[in-house]
Amino acid sequence: MIPIWRLRSGWFAGWKADDQFYNPEGKHIGYLTGEIVYTNDGCAVSEVYGDQWIGRRKTVIYPTGRRQAELSSKPAARLTDRAGLPLAGWADPDL
């Protein structure tokens, strides 16, 4: 599993495992299609930036995804927050 942080705040967001996304405690909360992250009900919430960050472009309308059943949780431990990247036009996602 690859750790992911929120782009602007640097708060730990969770884990990416193949094309699935898990919250900091290891609960399955969504999936990825390319770089776009969707909730299990198909709502786009953000995109992966640089393979270790997650953010939402303020000027992009993301497409709707497909519904997916929640998968089993994975054992995971919350990681510490870190300094974010203050990129213009990006916001932290609501996960």
List average pLDDT for each run of 10 residues in the chain, which is 95 residues long. 96 95 96 94 94 94 93 93 95 91
Strands in 1-95 per DSSP E: 2-6, 12-17, 20-22, 28-33, 36-39, 44-49, 53-57, 90-91
Two tokens at 88?
A: 């213009």
Pairwise CA distance, residues 89 & 17, whole Å: 27
Please give the pLDDT value at position 67.
95
Contact 12, 80 (CB under 8 A): yes
Please give the pLDDT value at position 3.
97
Number of H helices and E strands in the chain, helices first, is 0, 8
For tokens 């776009």, name the residue: 36
Please give the pLDDT value at position 35.
92
Please give the pLDDT value at position 51.
87
Please give the pLDDT value at position 2.
95
